[in-house]
Amino acid sequence: MTGLDRNSVRRTAVLAGAALIVGLLPLASAGTAAAADPDPVPVDRFEGEVPFASQPAEGLFTWGGDADDPPELTLAERSDAPEGAKVLAGDYDISGYGGFTHDYAADQPGHDWSAHKGIRFWWDGQDNGKKTAFEIKDGGANGEASELWTTSFTDDFSGWKQIEIPFGDFTYRTDYQPVGGIDQVLGLTQMWGYAVTLPVGAPGRFAMDDVELYGKADQSLRASVTTDAAVYPVKEGGTASVKVSVATTGSAPIDEPVTVAYESAGGTAESGKDYTPVKGEITFPAGTESGASRTVRVPTLRDRTGEAAETVPLKLTVTGAKAPAETPQVVIDAHGLPYLDAKLPVKKRVADLLSRMSLAEKAGQMTQAERGAIGAGGDIAAYDLGSLLSGGGSTPTPNTPEAWAKMIDGYQLRAQATRFQIPLIYGVDAVHGHNNLAGATVMPHNIGIGATRDPALAERTGAVTAAEVRATGVPWDFAPCLCVTRDERWGRSYESFGEDPALVESMETVVQGLQGDRSGRDLKDDDRVLATAKHFVGDGGTAYGSSTTGSYTVDQGVTKVSRQELEAVHLAPFQEAVDRGVGTVMPSYSSLDLGDGQGPVKMHARADMINGVLKDRMGFDGFVISDWNAIDQLPGDYAAHVRTSVNAGVDMMMVPYGYKEFSATLIDEAKAGRVTDRRIDDAVARILAQKFRLGLFEKPYADTSGASAIGSTAHRAVARQAAAESQVLLKNAGSVLPLKKSQKVYVAGSNADDIGNQTGGWTITWQGSSGNITPGTTILQGMRKAGGDVTYSKDASASTAGYDVGVVVVGETPYAEGVGDVGNGNDLELTAADKAAVDTVCAAMKCAVLIVSGRPQLIGDRLGDVDALVASWLPGTEGDGVADVLYGRRAFTGQLPVTWPKSESQLPINVGDTSYDPQFPYGWGLTTLTNVPGGGTASLRALALVAAAAERAGARTVARTAVTKARLLVQQKIGTAVTAASAKPFADADHLLLTGHYADAVAKLTQAYRAG
């Protein structure tokens, strides 16, 4: 799925859109300050006292979405300047977003603004009617890592006017993700400056002067009353305890008394029958310490009747401080109803609950929102939401296991305020480990797992991922991707296990690693998660140039295949997933064209595939979840998007920020009969069944007992083994590898010491990023830990004299999805710097080149100068695993999961093609095992007999061993002299091996041997 791409967004940037505009502020001219007010405190006079600079120094700086968006700023002399002689002036022409910031110096403490009422400045109005966003920066480590609090004003006046903004008018930016020391409270004691976002869409100019703090902070602005929760579930007959606290900015004692009148009133519970009403007043006297609390108790009553949950709002009226943002609710738990009985079969529980639900409640269960869209979470109950997700990089602050669990528990608590207390199902894209979580164990991407040819290891990687994900409160993983990648220009190539559907099917043991037993009986365990087979169907077959999504070239394009090819290549892995009991399936963004006259049809609209093939023919009994806003790509208006996708068989819609519109539209379509009650009931029943199987009704909150194992030595050992087994040795002239610890090794290249490049996209953020983004071991660090005598020069600029061997680690920088498509700013060539490093090192000494990438890179023009070549793929956080094979602790055993092309013009190129002349064929992979068989054709004849006999006897292990020995023998003869005549039968042999045709595989290898 698509995540939230913030890599190109400056930390201070304001994204364009109405969601960020709070509204028009009152525009007030400066009046005479009250006698008791403190003197104004200057922030910016724009006389030159604050320079144009950037972090970590104090200064003014500009930013924008692209090179044209940052405004041009100057300190201009103006005779009409409201203060002094100069003003800050600028011109702008912004298409995306742009503005400027004043940050205080990061190496100094933040400023204390808490004594003041607000911030004000002079603005030279152009009377253009446009809104300008104004933000202040609070808390965090510095101006670039702080909370943003936002508001706006409208330029509907001419000439200078002083804009006064009380601090109470600022609201928290929920879509912005700072990085530490964050409490979502405007403390005002550690302020880092302000930011101005200028209007978009037309050229403009502005002038600003004299930014200053004004007025005296009254207590209601710096003191607030809060409750310890918004929802208080209690069993019938129990007593709810509501903790009411007073807190102040800066934690100073309150100056004046604060009173809180409380009264139980309204709600669905009946006073005197379901609860004992309460009414009273709490007083916090002047001098009360910040953080002091009192408790209000609300007793509930037993009536011994089974019923749904009932609410008792506790109305709070506050004097002398800011009141809570929400009225706290006591919730008398649902009880005595059949669906709550864990002893009943899931089918009966689903039927009972479904029979009680309203249309609105059913629509809510079919709706999934992004965590960043729901603020404090009140909409969870208001819209009966069934699911939330974190898009790529959408994380709590701080990004720790504890914060994840606390966040999700808070959302689950909100769901307890609904009638039937149906728990949320929270989902994440944990596509190679819990990759959104800093410090989690990050596995090799799927292409590397495919290279291991080790189904048992694939299952273990899934089990580690499941354990780490579930320990943070997340029960649902949008993985694995079962795409069969057919064109390495695709930006999602690394999400595939390979180009052969038989290889993809063999790696689907990962489903059991995630979910456990095929029956689903393990899903309730604290180390299992619901898996998602994606993307149904044909996403790996999209044609180059067929995408209509932005600048994408391959991703989300059109897969044009015959029905026979669709069945054999793209559908086969999904049948395997269904047979393995996968719990959810996600359709693809792409379109399918079967040559039947319909033309390309988006998969989210293909009822023939989702209802007809997946659910009816394959027997899939889980639920179908859409991709991120995927229904918006369907033809017609929004109502057509909704009814088309739901009627096609999509059960839950991922509508991250459009959940209100989706829910309302689905209700309207159902009332109009365009979506039937039967279809809605089927969708909701499927969703509820998985929630029951996950045990969420009994245990909705995070079980963090396994959190201590996140990133543990044991978990990293699995990732280390996967990294080692994923390494594919393509060439090894003169047995350069394995290295010896006695050798002096010269290491160079852009990817030798970069954990971000090594882990690739979908790591911490959607697109991933270079640099030290999460704990792990780089390849260079792994080599040093292995005991090697290693010298490192990233660009190979250090002297190359006196070394025994060089290791150059090159390749790609991170990307995800269509952003990584070739032709969308990417190609398959090494960078100029990487080529220079290879040339320098390999000219000076024997050398091994490691390519860290999500797909093959074009290396043919340098292959003759390289002694050893390794496809390292994207090995994850455990560079020790790469070092293990480099230094011989483990043998190289990996095999190519995709064909390695000679040139981009050959693409697409795949095993089974009629014309097949690659650099290295599918299945290729040399070994550093010492017992590589010899004996030529005689040995091949003997191995053919063994394979045939074992195949007849059903002795698969013996048969596979025979084929492997034959493959190694053939590779030893061919070396790097791969020809079309040898490559095609060699690749075919690996497909035959995976499909259980062992004797035929040896026959093909014999053919390759004779051609080699």
* Residue 526, Cβ density class (10 Å: 0-12 exposed, 13-18 middle, ≥19 buried): middle
Helices (H), 705-809: 713-726, 755-759, 779-785
Three-state DSSP at 953 gives: helix
Q: In this structure, which amino acid lies at residue 141?
A: A
Query: Alpha carbon of 440 to those of 49, 503, 580, 647, 776: distances in Å?
Result: 46, 27, 27, 39, 9
Where is 915: in which H helix or E strand?
none
Within 10 A of 67 (CB to CB), how many other CB atoms are there?
6
Phi, psi of 197, rounded to the nearest 5 degrees:
-105, 125
Q: Which two tokens stand for residue 330?
A: 């006591």
CB count within 10 Å of CB 966 equals 29
Active-site residue, 281 included: no
Angstrom distance (rounded) from CA 933 to CA 951: 21
Q: Which residue in the block uniquely carries the two structure tokens 């993700």?
A: 177
Query: Cα separation of 852 and 728, whole Å?
Result: 11
For the record, the structure tokens of 916 come out as 């097949």
* SS3 of residue 789 by DSSP: strand
- Nearest 5°: phi and psi at 262? -125, 150
Helix axes 638-648, 677-693, angle to 10 degrees: 60
d(CA 846, CA 462): 38
Backbone dihedral angles phi then psi of residue 115, each to the nearest 5 degrees: -80, -5
- Strand bridging mode 846-852 / 805-811: parallel
Tokens of residue 375, six digits: 């603020």
Give the phi and the psi of residue 904 in degrees, each rounded to 5: -65, -25
| 3-state SS class at 626 | coil
Contact in structure between 268 and 333 (CB atoms under 8 Å): no
Catalytic residue among 527, 725, 817, 988: 817
CA proximity to 432, closest of 440, 422, 424, 423:
440
Which residue bears the tokens 């918004």? 230
The Cα 678–Cα 898 span in angstroms is 44
Please say if 370 is a catalytic residue: no
For residue 182, the one-letter residue type is: I
Cβ–Cβ < 8 Å for 592, 600: yes
- End-to-end CA distance of the chain: give it in Å, rounded: 43
Indicate the residue type of 268. T
Helix (H) or strand (E) holding 686: helix 677-693
CA dihedral for 487, 460, 963, 867, sign (positive or negative): positive
CB count in 10 Å sphere of residue 825: 10
Q: What are phi and psi of 420, to 5 degrees?
A: -105, 5
Residues whose CB is less than 8 angstroms from the CB of residue 636 and which lie 6 or more positions away in sequence, other chains included: 644
943: nearest Cα among 992, 1008, 999: 999
DSSP letter for 522, please: T
Cβ neighbours of 552 (radius 10 Å):
22
The answer to whether the peptide bond before residue 199 is cis (omega within 30 degrees of 0) is no
Q: Which two tokens stand for residue 114?
A: 């808490």
Cα separation of 472 and 45, whole Å? Answer: 48
What is the distance between the alpha carbons of residues 763 and 432, in angstroms, rounded to a whole number?
A: 8
Catalytic annotation, pick one of 103, 499, 627, 669: 627
Q: Which residues are catalytic, by number? A: 627, 817
